[in-house]
Structure 1
Amino acid sequence: MAVLVTRPSPDDDTTASALRARGFEVLCAPMLRFEAIPFQDDAEANYGAVLVTSANALRAAAPQLGNSRLLRLPLFAVGEHTAAAARDAGFSEVIVSKGDAGALRELVLAAAKSKQLKKANPLLYLAGADLARDLASELGDKGFTVATRTTYRMVPAPSLPREICDAFVADRIEAVLHYSRRSARAFLEAARAGGVEISALALPQCCISAAVAAVLREAGASQVTAAESADENALFEALQRALQRRIRTNL
């Protein structure tokens, strides 16, 4: 029995390795495909800091950063995964928030209150084409000017690989991991297109957050578990809880 990882590449490989180290068999079916979008730094903008809510934004921007002046700015990142990508890209001052973009907003506000940031200097937000929340507007309401630069897009996969559909039919999958609302929606569409929606939704769906879990519940999934915090270790704990519940139910 395998756990299906729907996370985009290359992060799905990291997740698969972590699961295998915990004794799980793993199948991967990335539901979103990463595409970089070129961006140009506005040389006349006197930015005070860089904001990033996804490691993908940094992967996309890294080839264009080089010896950019942006690398000398403080960078506010959501989570250690994104922070590591920032350091790999060359940023030396990385401030990390735990949680989601809302936690990042609060961290930025706290930095302004403590005079680490000046509201007079605009913030540069490196972002994806599809945003779960409008961080720029939320900070704008607090007196900041935020310049959003789109550095990547995530394109939904139109279908599940044949071997994944066959695994659903053969009852070889015991749970599915979901990392975002968009990838969860893409999974549902792909499962429907592959004729395995009923089989897929009958399994435990383990989600990185309550917002992602809501997508699966709305689609009719009955065994949905959300991580207690938006990080992978918490998601793995949610997976263990879901599988234990399933074992008890089947006894």
Structure 2
Amino acid sequence: GSGGPGTASREPPRPRSARVRRSPRRGRGGPPRGRAPAAPGPVATRTLGLLGADVLRVDPPGMPEADDAHADTGFGKRSALLDLADRADRAVFDGLLARADVVVSGYRPGALDRFGLGARELAAARPGLVLAQVCAWGWEGPWAGRRGFDSLVQAGYGIAAAEAGPDGVPGVLPAQALDHGTGYLLAAGVLRALAAGGGRVLRFSLAGTASWLVRDVPRAVGPAPGGADGAGAGARLRECGSGYGRLRYAAPPLAAGPGDWPAGPSRWGADRAAWLPAT
């Protein structure tokens, strides 16, 4: 709605199972460059995986994500590779879509339309689908089609100026607050849409989150969970095995729900492009 960083529109609902998939990034024959940063979508789907969703991330071959980024957001999901230009891979993709409850996409407005993966096409192919989209600068207006990422949007909304030091040099927040904040808001929107019966298009943007943070959050900020210097953060650290070896990581930042993911992340592209068997 207009009071927050996201919007929702309704499509006809249909009963679903509990499955979530992420749309693929660009590869040979894949969607074009210029998507929003990787963090919002993976943060959202990592959260949904924590809460019990079967999450499958799909990427094109040949464009691996940096190991540290994938390891950070790969908890609670699997990672597979498909080339949408390949007929067999596209058939697998369409089969996944036919059983999906949620699709999370992080591209500029209209970037997926020429692949038949726009909001209307996806809703027609899978009635009842919750389509959760995130971009950089918003879904309307002259900047809607522009590329962007967290730090750039922070600068555009005055956050960098507000964080400037005594010398006036623009500063940054101590974390990619727009990426992660938008991801958690997106996950909450998906949960609300599913509880209402599905069949919705959710649209979030880094710019919407930035505007909300600048306008409302400074009046409601509480103490940092680990203390101002992070000295108390050790109690929140966990360890587990993963496709990247032994990992030390922060526990999920949720006040309720599971205290940890059931398993660490697999390596990028290491899993089969298929849903888990129904239980």
The TM-score with structure 2 as length reference comes to 0.29
**Could you say which structure has the greater relative contact order, defined with CA pairs below 8 angstroms and 6 or more residues apart?**
2
Name whichever structure is richer in helix by fraction: 1
The TM-score with structure 1 as length reference comes to 0.31
Name whichever structure is richer in strand by fraction: 1
**Greater Rg over alpha carbons, structure:** 1
